[in-house]
Amino acid sequence: MTTITGVTVHDVRFPTSLSMDGSDAMNKDGDYSAAYVVLETDGDLAGYGFTFTIGRGNDLCAEAARQHAAPLVGRDVDALLDDLGGVYRELASDSQLRWLGPEKGVVHLGMAAVMNALWDMASRRAGVPLWRLLAEMTPEQLVDVADLRYLSDALTRDEAIALLEEMAPTRADRIADLEARGGYPCYTTSAGWLGYSDEKLRRLLQEAVDEGYGHVKLKVGANLDDDIRRLRIAREVIGWDAKLMIDANQVWDVPQAIEWVGALAEFQPHWIEEPTSPDDVLGHAAVREAVSPIGVATGEHGMNRVLFKQLFQAGAIDYCQLDSARLASINEILAVYLMAKKFDVPVCPHAGGVGLCELVQHLSIFDYVAVSGSLDDRVTEFVDHLHEHFVDPCVVEHGNYVLPSQPGYSAEMLEASVAEYAYPDGGYWAGARAVA
């Protein structure tokens, strides 16, 4: 019997604020960070997972992950991994931790890190990448692990099984299709951070075109004149056939969002992302009605599946941008994918942050193979930052995520990177203090 013998949680922070990577109208100086969980056993198996933050406060998420993981120590690995639905429900029902949420904020981020590590371990035990582990599960098995609590007015268990059964006979065909086309389509945000100079913006946009991207995204919302100038540069470089998305990162009130997007409409944005508060369902619906045919996208700060249920029910969004480290891992993510299928809303996951690209490639591949069965108007985010710190980094070629082949959730970080960027005593941060 293999047993979980310990849990180590690292507060890992990268100084991305120095180069303005990740800068936007709301978050001007973020240091991409991860509350990184390692589940240790008395055998060769381990599990790796994380949640994403942008610097100060990452230690709070790390502590929340420790609190969630503590009940796993001493437990039989096979018993845990054979019942990931039950383990999820057990950890989610911890009344004292739940009181601090419930199912939102720091506590939910910590839950995501721990469950991500368990799903990584399950994939490693099976010897397959996570997307394939999920694609090989039966509809009943998938629904058994999905968190469908509070959703029955939008999606019942029987409906969920039926949606998955519809796609099950042709899963292999879609895997073959992705392999033939070179992977799952993605867009790049790497050119569009708000803190970049016009010269850097122009250069990176040209590189994106040269690398085969048909979709690019720019940050907006700090200054309208600057946005008009930057979007004009973007159209000069990428032309008018490529899709151009814009992202306000929640900085506007609803009327301001409508007015600002109207002023940028001449550049034909494909979508406006996070136009207002991520919790404002009716506000998103109002923006969507006013700015159509420009689409409305949101979800990276969608706190839980219930918020997504309301966004779908209200017809508030055109694109669902769930986040692999804010929702409580695969169990909750499955529920959102299934609702998106029922309400016919494309899922285009958020991936702007350390390690998120590594995770979401698995989710998007699984969605196409087993849930949506479609690539129509679907594209997943990619940012070209910090992949060198992962054991199994994502690979993007010609604007596509190449299908991961290594066992796991691609979440394991290099030990040297953890040692260097652990906060506050890793090599980089200790050196920075010495110089200050």
Say which of 217, 219, 284, 362 is annotated catalytic.
219
Q: Is residue 33 a contact partner of residue 101, using CB atoms and an 8 Å limit? A: no
CA gap 108, 167 in Å, rounded: 31
Question: Measured between alpha carbons, how far is residue 101 from residues 52, 94, 96, 116, 189 in Å?
Answer: 17, 11, 10, 19, 31
Token pair for 39: 């589940």
Q: Confirm whether 342 is a catalytic residue.
A: no
- Dist. CA 11–CA 33, nearest whole Å: 8
List b or e across 85-104, with b for residues whose CB sees 16 or more CB atoms inside 10 angstroms: bebbeebbebeebeeebebb
- Whole-angstrom CA distances from 136 to 125, 126, 141 are 14, 11, 10
Q: What is the CA radius of gyration of the chain?
A: 21
Q: Taking a C-beta distance cutoff of 8 angstroms, is the pair 214, 382 a contact?
A: no
Catalytic residue among 350, 362, 385, 389: 350
Nearby residues of 212 by Cβ (< 8 Å), 6 or more positions away = 398, 399
CB 23 within 8 A of CB 194: yes
Given a contact cutoff of 8 angstroms between Cβ atoms, the answer to whether 309 and 335 are in contact is no
Q: Is 219 a catalytic residue?
A: yes
From start to end of 248-390, where are the E strands?
Answer: 271-273, 295-298, 319-320, 380-382
Q: Which residues are catalytic?
A: 219, 350
